[in-house]
Amino acid sequence: MHGRPRQPPQAEDAASASKASNLRELQSKLLHNHHQRIYSQEAIDASSKLLDINPEILTAWNYRKLAFQHNLQEASDPPHFKSLVNDELRVVEMALRRNPKSYGAWYHRKWVLSQGLLEVDFDREFYLLDQLLKVDARNFHGWSYRRFVAKMKDVSEVEELKFTMDMIDSNFSNYSAWHNRSALLSHLLSKKAHGFDEREKILAEEYDLVRQALFTDPSDQSGWFYHLWLLDQTVTPDEVLLISSWPFDGSNWCITVDEDKVHCKVSQLPCSSYYFLNSGKLPIVLYFNQPVKGVHSSSVIVNSVFVKNEDLIWRPVTPTKSEQAACWVVYIGIPDFQKIDTKVYAVEINIGHSKDIISSNGSVFSHPLQFRFNLSFNSISLEHAEVESIDELFVWNDSGSSVAEHCGFFPFNRVNASEDHTLKSSKWNLETISYEIDLFKELEENCKFVKLTLARLFLAQDAMMSYKTCSLIHSRDVLRLFDDLIRLDPMHAGYYEDERSIVVVNQVTSDEQSLMSQNSHSSNYFSSKLPLNGCIQLTNLSLTRIGSVDRLLWVQVLDLSHNKLHSLAGIEALQLLTCLNLRNNQINSLTALEPLKLLSFLRVLDLSFNKIGAHPVDTTRYLCHSPLSHSIFGAKKCIEDYLEANINVTDHWEAILLFRELRLKQLEVKGNVVADENFRDLFAKVASHADLA
């Protein structure tokens, strides 16, 4: 099916007709013998002839296995065994000459050797492999067979690592060899095998090796993927740290609850702005430097008079079924207001006294940490009595005339992990990164891999430094590199734009000043009846996705309008988010809004002028919970109920599964293909409590 030149159709000539009739005869002979269980030498020879012409016929290999088993029972002595085994090995070799990538042939050989009848002639096997890899050093069947034989012979991983070195030495451009090397090495490193216990030394040697490849031919991809893996080994934090939280350490909050307890508001003292928590629950959000599991009431202890620590259930904030997340949340019910007096209550959070908080690569949260915040309760009735519910609070402002009042408060107090420890452990890593940066700065200017690697190195350096400081040194350099890359390699512009977006958000949110300046040119904002806390605006930044959510945990009102947002991944961390403006973006489907389902305070959503419904191919179809992805939870029942009610589920399952979970009060969808009459009818049925603008 591959590599045959196209030829004009021609009438069957005599030669090809006789070839065809020969093949047909061999095929029917095979099936006859197979069905009649005829295992004579003649029958077996016929199957060899067939496999020589077409080694892909699985049934022929199956027949030979049956014949082998049958004749083995008849065979009495080892020489006879040996000839049976050799016959099979020969047929396989013949088939591999026809097609070195024949799955059936390779498996047949493994099967025969696995029968354990004879001592395997390993020289013969390795010779065969050498021959094959000489012809095609990238034949992955060959590499896989090599792993099989090496395991059978009990060849050490160190030996095999040497073999990858030989292959790389003879040709740097051998991705298969680099792949095998990375797999072997990471295994040896993780089990700290003899000679591999000094991780930094080994990695340094690998950097030397891959550098030779990169400098020999910077346009070859093989080395760059290996370099990326090394970089990842260098920058992956070897311990889990808490990088931010809400509420943050040392903050004071005043909670005001209205009479019927439907809404309560939380204000930061002495500031006069408010958080409205209209479900009567106060979240505590923790954000770690990497996804972790094991956050529970014994690894995080919350001391307060309001709740018993052991009653708290921490949940990973992720739209997937994963048990790991960087962001974790617990909700504390706000106690009955009438019974609370006016004193200040401290809430104290202790993390990491057990070693349960652990990342997927095995790093643990090992430096216990404590932080606290204070809660007080206000007995005064709502100052803004005219505001009766949250849905009256916001009017998205098209004209751009109104600017939100905010109190000029941005909570940048991040939790500081034990700094000195971080410093010590990352000294080698930082030096390595700096060295690589200097090196690649000198390499050829117009190679995309050099530029991309340089951008990644800069980002890695900034990320490592930001545990100490919050500032970003290289944002500008990195943005310039991504601009260059978009010009140099326009085929992958989408990738560079996504990477660039993360850097832009990082830059804008890196300190109070830049965030303030961002917000001061408000052109499209909303007006509000209340001075609100936690409002920010990230508009007109050409963002295609968002990042740095750990710095935005406090945000309650977020304006992301007039960007190129395609994905909302990560936004689920903003657990306080109540109003979200996504007007004028590139959201393609309702399934892309899956992360919003985790925002239990979200009430106001503006989706107008996106591309929802405009694309028949839904790229987030499998990134949401649905019967398609077997992750249905309550969805199956829900789908069945709607089917019963004769609602067109086929066309609207995305809307049904989304809007029945969002607790919106206000939704704006105009300017999307999806927003037709059917949609409005459906929305009214699924989300009867909400207004559709």
Q: Which residues 189-228 are close enough to bind other proteins by CB under 8 A?
A: 220-222, 225, 228
Binds other proteins by CB under 8 A, chosen from 48, 59, 370, 413: 59
Near other proteins by CB under 8 A, which window of 74-82, 91-99, 487-495, 660-668?
Answer: 487-495
Binding characters for other proteins, 638-677, by CB under 8 A (x = yes): -x---x-----xx--x------------------------
Least separation in angstroms between CB 182 and other proteins: 5
- Could you tell me which residues come within 8 angstroms of residue 328 by beta carbon, excluding any fewer than 6 positions away? 285, 286, 287, 288, 292, 295, 300, 314, 315, 316, 317
User: In this structure, what DSSP letter does residue 646 have?
Assistant: T
Burial of 479 (0-12, 13-18, 19+ CB in 10 A): middle
Least separation in angstroms between CB 559 and other proteins: 24
Near other proteins by CB under 8 A, which window of 59-67, 81-89, 254-262, 335-343?
Answer: 59-67
Tell me the site size for other proteins, rule CB under 8 A.
84
Q: Three-state SS for 350?
A: strand
Residue 98 as a binder of other proteins (CB under 8 A): the answer is: no
Q: Which two tokens stand for residue 689?
A: 């409590």
Tell me how far apart the alpha carbons of residues 575 and 600 are, in angstroms, rounded to a whole number. Answer: 7
Within 538-567, the residues that bind other proteins by CB under 8 A are 566-567
Q: Which is nearer to other proteins, 127 or 140 (CB)?
A: 140
Binds other proteins by CB under 8 A, chosen from 173, 290, 309, 522: 173
- Alpha-carbon dihedral angle through residues 542, 547, 548, 550, given to the nearest 10 degrees: 140
Q: Which is nearer to other proteins, 441 or 492 (CB)?
A: 492
Binds other proteins by CB under 8 A, chosen from 70, 97, 138, 663: 138
Tell me how far apart the alpha carbons of residues 167 and 186 are, in angstroms, rounded to a whole number. Answer: 18
Residue with tokens 């893996």: 229
Q: Which is nearer to other proteins, 70 or 138 (CB)?
A: 138
Q: Which is nearer to other proteins, 122 or 622 (CB)?
A: 622
Angle at the Cα of 164 from the Cα atoms of 201 and 141, rounded to 5 degrees: 140
Instruction: Say if strands 345-351 and 300-303 run parallel, antiparallel, or are unpaired.
Output: antiparallel
Binds other proteins by CB under 8 A, chosen from 29, 49, 54, 447: 54
Near other proteins by CB under 8 A, which window of 48-56, 269-277, 329-337, 438-446?
Answer: 48-56
Binds other proteins by CB under 8 A, chosen from 47, 359, 509, 620: 620
Within 575-594, the residues that bind other proteins by CB under 8 A are 592
Residue 437 as a binder of other proteins (CB under 8 A): the answer is: no
285 HSE (CA, 13 A, CB side)? 30
Q: Which is nearer to other proteins, 24 or 90 (CB)?
A: 24
Within 99-118, the residues that bind other proteins by CB under 8 A are 103, 107, 111
Near other proteins by CB under 8 A, which window of 60-68, 122-130, 191-199, 471-479?
Answer: 60-68
Residues in the chain: 693
Q: Which of 547, 609, 555, 606 is nearest to 577 (CA)?
A: 555
Q: Three-state SS for 201?
A: helix
User: In this structure, what DSSP letter does residue 120 have?
Assistant: -
- Could you tell me which residues come within 8 angstroms of residue 153 by beta carbon, excluding any fewer than 6 positions away? 120, 122
Near other proteins by CB under 8 A, which window of 263-271, 373-381, 488-496, 603-611?
Answer: 488-496
Q: Which is nearer to other proteins, 35 or 194 (CB)?
A: 35
Binds other proteins by CB under 8 A, chosen from 164, 318, 608, 672: 318
Least separation in angstroms between CB 176 and other proteins: 5
The answer to whether residues 422 and 564 touch, using CB atoms and an 8 Å cutoff, is no
Q: Which is nearer to other proteins, 183 or 430 (CB)?
A: 183
Tell me how far apart the alpha carbons of residues 41 and 679 are, in angstroms, rounded to a whole number. Answer: 71
Least separation in angstroms between CB 240 and other proteins: 18
Near other proteins by CB under 8 A, which window of 174-182, 373-381, 383-391, 508-516?
Answer: 174-182
Binds other proteins by CB under 8 A, chosen from 355, 492, 521, 670: 492
Least separation in angstroms between CB 132 and other proteins: 15
Which H, E and C letters describe 307-331, residue by residue? CCHHHCCCEECCCCCCCCEEEEEEE
The answer to whether residues 80 and 118 touch, using CB atoms and an 8 Å cutoff, is no
Tell me how far apart the alpha carbons of residues 253 and 17 are, in angstroms, rounded to a whole number. Answer: 89
Q: Which two tokens stand for residue 623?
A: 């990134």
Binds other proteins by CB under 8 A, chosen from 380, 385, 491, 645: 491
Q: Where are the alpha helices (DSSP H) in 361-492?
A: 419-425, 427-442, 448-465, 475-488
Q: Which two tokens stand for residue 240?
A: 């889990």
Near other proteins by CB under 8 A, which window of 78-86, 244-252, 257-265, 486-494?
Answer: 486-494
Least separation in angstroms between CB 272 and other proteins: 42
Question: 95-126 b/e with 16+ CB inside 10 Å = b?
Answer: bbeeebebebbbbbbeebbeeebeebeeeebb
Which H, E and C letters describe 550-615, residue by residue? HHCCCCCEEECCCCCCCCCCCHHHCCCCCEEECCCCCCCCHHHHHHHHHCCCCCEEECCCCCCCCC
What is the CB neighbour count within 10 angstroms for residue 464?
18
Within 5-44, the residues that bind other proteins by CB under 8 A are 5-9, 12, 16, 19-20, 23-24, 27, 31, 35
Residue 494 as a binder of other proteins (CB under 8 A): the answer is: yes
Least separation in angstroms between CB 258 and other proteins: 40
Residue 435 as a binder of other proteins (CB under 8 A): the answer is: no
Least separation in angstroms between CB 481 and other proteins: 15
Least separation in angstroms between CB 45 and other proteins: 20
Residue 279 as a binder of other proteins (CB under 8 A): the answer is: no
Binds other proteins by CB under 8 A, chosen from 79, 116, 270, 616: 616
Residue 480 as a binder of other proteins (CB under 8 A): the answer is: no
Binds other proteins by CB under 8 A, chosen from 48, 279, 297, 320: 320
Near other proteins by CB under 8 A, which window of 266-274, 344-352, 489-497, 598-606?
Answer: 489-497
Tell me how far apart the alpha carbons of residues 183 and 164 are, in angstroms, rounded to a whole number. Answer: 11
Residue 157 as a binder of other proteins (CB under 8 A): the answer is: no
- Could you tell me which residues come within 8 angstroms of residue 570 by beta carbon, excluding any fewer than 6 positions away? 545, 546, 547, 549, 595
Tell me how far apart the alpha carbons of residues 428 and 411 are, in angstroms, rounded to a whole number. Answer: 33
